[in-house]
Amino acid sequence: MTTDVSVDLPGREYLVRIGPGALEACRPELRRLTAKPSAIVADEAVLAQHEDALRKVLPELPLITVPSGEATKSWQSYADVSEKLLEAGVERGGSVVAFGGGVTGDLAGFCAATLRRGCRLVMLPTTLLSQVDSSVGGKTAINTASGKNLVGAFHQPSLVAIDTSFLSTLPKRELLAGYAEVIKYGALGDPQFLSWLGERGDAVLALEPAALTEAIAVSCRAKAAIVTEDETERGRRALLNLGHTFGHAIEAEGQYDGRILHGEGVAIGMVMAARFSEREGHLSPGEAERFEALVARSGLPTRLADVPDIPADPGRLLLHMRQDKKVDSGAMTLILLKRLGEAFVAKDQDEARILDFLGEEAQLPKL
């Protein structure tokens, strides 16, 4: 049984189909979208495990593989994949099909956005993180020496098929990294969902089909509603970055070499955002501690000390935060919390106060 979510952008509506067997259930849509010359960009590790399932639905499309890992989102990979897509004859009316996690989707999506000035994009996400977040909403990007996702484009997919059966082979650490984004949707705007995760989070992480499909569907509906209102992040869509300004800075210090995963950075970043919110008087005393306990219960890191291999120098973290895409006229913007389940965009934040806070965070012991 699958569940459908619609992203209702005027003139560019698309379907998100969720559940075990979603890939097979999308066969008619996939055949239509790849009727003109198209190609698949696949994570090589994912393909090694799931090529039979992919080829059952898309047996004849040219296949381009990319390595796993954040380092793949580079200028060189973007150039290489673009050249291979052109060699494969992909036309503007055809599709680039992304098969893998968030790295593959971001890279393939950016290639699709720019190839022949824009061709169709189909997302077949295979990690929990990509299923609840990066596959929906049209953000595509690569990383640069200056930071994460700083070169990219908004390019909406034409179809997202979220087949939850692929998660059965996902390493536990990767599953937890995706779960951080699930928690995010509750924290930023849905206190009832946050409470539900407190009760059913173990079932989600155990890949219980009904709980897993529900968690992904709620997350996708929340993102679809925000994207429909604010596609290019001029206002409310910035809320989706809860925890990301802090988290991306931690990732940058890790040089995207696998010492910290994106979702792990987001988990720490969300808890830091909660603590900073409480420190600044926005969040009631004790709420940050309660939120940290919810995140930690799943097994995710919540403090800088939880990733001891990554430097926690406050000045360097602040430098990375200055590269955040929400910085406006040199002024830093953070996504903070009024309560658990209600986030807001906090502009013109005082860097001296942030630096003091980062110093405090660097001194916190492991939970």
CATH number for the domain harbouring residue 347: 1.20.1090.10
Q: Is 338 part of the annotated catalytic residue set?
A: no
The answer on 257 and 146 residing in a single domain is no
Q: Is 279 part of the annotated catalytic residue set?
A: no
Give the β-pairing of 3-7 and 14-19: antiparallel
The answer on 331 and 202 residing in a single domain is yes
Q: Is 223 part of the annotated catalytic residue set?
A: yes
Q: Is 282 part of the annotated catalytic residue set?
A: no
Q: Is residue 105 within 8 Å of 125, Cβ to Cβ?
A: yes
168 known member of a binding site: yes
Q: Is residue 130 within 8 Å of 102, Cβ to Cβ?
A: yes
Residue 349 belongs to what domain range? 172-363
201 known member of a binding site: no
Q: Considering only CA atoms, which of 20, 162, 144, 55 is closest in space to residue 101?
A: 162
Residue among 155, 184, 248, 320 flagged as catalytic: 248
Element (H, E) at 162: strand 159-163
244 known member of a binding site: yes
84 known member of a binding site: no
Q: Is 237 part of the annotated catalytic residue set?
A: yes
126 known member of a binding site: yes
pLDDT digit string (tens) for the chain, length 367 residues: 899 999 999 999 999 999 999 999 999 999 999 999 999 999 999 999 999 999 999 999 999 999 999 899 999 999 999 999 999 999 999 999 999 999 999 999 999 999 999 999 999 999 999 999 999 999 999 999 888 899 999 999 999 999 999 999 999 999 999 999 999 999 999 999 999 999 999 999 999 999 999 999 999 999 999 999 999 988 889 999 999 999 999 998 988 888 999 999 999 999 999 999 999 999 999 999 999 999 999 999 999 999 988 888 999 999 999 987 777 777 899 999 999 999 999 999 999 999 999 999 999 999 8
What's the total number of domains in the chain? 2
Q: Is 155 part of the annotated catalytic residue set?
A: no
Token pair for 245: 């300004």
The answer on 59 and 136 residing in a single domain is yes
The answer on 146 and 113 residing in a single domain is yes
Q: What is the value of pTM for the model shown?
A: 0.94
Residue among 200, 244, 303, 320 flagged as catalytic: 244
